[in-house]
Amino acid sequence: MLAHEIRARVARGEVSPLEVAQTYLKRVWELDHGLGAFLTLNENLLEEARGVDPGLPLAGLLVAVKDNIVTKGLRTTAGSRLLENFLPPYEATAVARLKAQGALVLGKTNLDEFGMGSSTEHSAFFPTKNPFDPSRVPGGSSGGSAAAVAADLAPLALGSDTGGSVRQPAGFCGIYGLKPTYGRVSRFGLIAYASSLDQIGPMARSARDLALLMDAMAGLDPLDATSLDLPPRFQEALGEPLPPLRLGVVREGLSGNSPGVEEALEEALAVFRGLGFDVKEVSWPSLPLALPAYYILAPAEASSNLARYDGTLFGVRGEGEEIFEVVEATRARFGLEVKRRILVGTFVLSSGYYEAYYGRAQALRRRLRAEARALFGEVDLLLLPTTPHPAFPLGGRPDPLAMYREDLYTVGANLAGLPALSFPAGFEGPLPLGLQLLAPWGKDELLLRAAFAHEEATGGAFVRTPLGEAL
């Protein structure tokens, strides 16, 4: 069942929060051993479920939380050996708000270490597999969350999106994934990768379920100075008639795609035209340059953010050689991809290279934003593939540059701070495909309305549960 259907049954007294928790926990124990979606399960889940008030807005709903979002008293590793025994003494705002409305944390999901990767192969513990084909990746870095929702091990999940890490795995796993407008959801409690790009986002098997999470999470947070005072009205917006909309198909996303992606684009455009959308092709000239700019700016911020872990291995600092030994031991606990990005970030910020690399990347970011603002003077929404192809095989991207190109269509929204939503739109063989919609700054509700209209028009035909019967 979809999350909003579970919630309705709990509200009618047909099923209790405890029964929902028991059912999902049993399914995780039966199926996750071959999938690797979870790093940690909530040992107190059943006790917490017994105490939930069925009248709360999210009572009976379980949420799988990406393991770079801190959960009080529940292990949070960021997919790294460096934090494998970290028990946070505080709660991320997004999680606290969900729990206050009756939702329960089912467990913490696998990810590429510190969110750095596009396949969940860079977890320090084990890779996650795609539920539709265990020989393929689920995407990354929120691959554990995407796999959990796709396999119906959890009805809802939280991920984080720095350059596409909610949307790309959502596309690979055939679910919905939203990167909100930067600041729409508080980042307090999100372990930082690149602070000007990071954003917590919901993942689910329907647009209505995304709305449930966003209404509970979004809004101003005094603990996050970058949070926005935009009151959420997502579920209300889904009930409103869809106005005539202008849809711009981004020309820079129309070449180099697999046959399945091209077919999905054609079918989606036919659906949107049938819904009354005015469709036209538009150009976002700087989009092809967004990828190199991102892989300068994000590592630069990461090199600063991850410097806080120097010396944390033993928790003390000495003098002279002792300091050196502690710092070196800490660095040895970082995985290869994290080290690679720290080194790139340190290089582009170093004397003599700052303006040549970091300064030019920031200039490109400003140009990308300006072009997006101009585009949204012509159209209401933009349409792009989420990825150029379906999920690739485990081990299929040994070249780091090839792995980075997986973010080709997703990084533009992060650099511009725009909301973007990946929705299921087709299959290539047995593998799901996603397309993404982008909206102007702060117009997140419009994205969900458009995705919901597509979902209703297609009867949810592109959402399937690959591991046994859906609950």
CB 368 within 8 A of CB 416: yes
Which residue in the list 80, 142, 145, 165 is annotated as catalytic?
A: 165
CB 43 within 8 A of CB 136: no
Give Cα separations from 95 to 4, 74, 107, 190, 217 (angstroms): 18, 12, 12, 10, 8
Lookup: tokens for 393: 């095989």
CB 249 within 8 A of CB 269: yes
Q: How far apart are CA 149 and CA 161, in angstroms?
A: 16
Q: How far apart are CA 10 and CA 60, in angstroms?
A: 6
Taking the CA atoms of the chain, what radius of gyration do you get in angstroms?
Answer: 21
Residues, the chain: 471
Residues 6+ apart with CB under 8 A from 351: none
Q: How far apart are CA 238 and CA 229, in angstroms?
A: 21
Q: How far apart are CA 121 and CA 347, in angstroms?
A: 25
At 371, the amino acid letter reads E
Catalytic residue status for 72: no
Which residue in the list 118, 119, 123, 141 is annotated as catalytic?
A: 141
3-state helix, strand, coil in the chain (%, to 5): 40, 15, 45
Dihedral angle over CA of 195, 196, 198, 199, nearest 10:
120
Catalytic residue status for 108: no
CB 59 within 8 A of CB 10: yes
DSSP H or E segment with residue 248: strand 246-250
Catalytic residue status for 165: yes
Q: List the beta bridge partners of residue 357.
A: none
Angle (CA) 199 202 205, round 5°: 150
Q: How far apart are CA 276 and CA 259, in angstroms?
A: 26
Closest C-alpha among 405, 171, 423 to residue 290: 405
Catalytic residue positions, numbered? 66, 141, 165
